[in-house]
Amino acid sequence: SQTIHQWPATLVQPVGSPLSLECTVEGTSNPNLYWYRQAAGRGLQLLFYSVGIGQISSEVPQNLSASRPQDRQFILSSKKLLLSDSGFYLCAWSVRRRPGRGSYEQYFGPGTRLTVT
């Protein structure tokens, strides 16, 4: 069965410090990978998605970046955190399960709660 890991679970970082959040998926190959951010009491905002190694698409311009160094590894980074980067970060994966339909079920990791102080 497939599992998705995220770490750390919680993180408190000062403004201006760097960030690295890691996500790994087990039990599947060639997944699509996604990073979302959720502000308190709000829905999820798609930040980045990747359909393959080294292929990253950014949805929202900001001071965050993403990388996919391996097939099942997705990393979210920042060189200098802002207060507005605080939130709940969720990694998700999906694979096409209905050929030709263009719709995917997404499965989420446990999330990282980031507080920038």
Partner 1 sequence: AQKITQTQPGMFVQEKEAVTLDCTYDTSDPSYGLFWYKQPSSGEMIFLIYQGSYDQQNATEGRYSLNFQKARKSANLVISASQLGDSAMYFCAMREGNAGKSTFGDGTTLTVKP
Quote the tokens at residue 36: 């979302």
**Cα–Cα distance measured from residue 54 to residue 68, given in angstroms and rounded to the nearest whole number:** 5
Q: How far is the CB of 54 from partner 1 (least distance, A)?
A: 15
Q: Read off φ and ψ for residue 30, nearest 5 degrees.
A: 55, 45
- Identify the residue among 15, 18, 30, 59 touching partner 1 (CB under 8 A): 59
Answer whether 23's CB lies under 8 Å from 6's CB: yes
Subset of 2-31 contacting partner 1 (CB under 8 A)? none
Subset of 70-109 contacting partner 1 (CB under 8 A)? 88, 90, 92, 94, 96, 98, 101-108
Nearer of residues 32 and 73 to partner 1, judged by Cβ: 32
- Identify the residue among 57, 63, 70, 117 touching partner 1 (CB under 8 A): 57
The total of other beta-carbon atoms located within 10 Å of residue 50's CB is 20
Nearest to 72 by CA among 22, 35, 8, 29: 29
Stretch that binds partner 1, among 16-24, 49-57, 63-71, 78-86 (CB under 8 A): 49-57
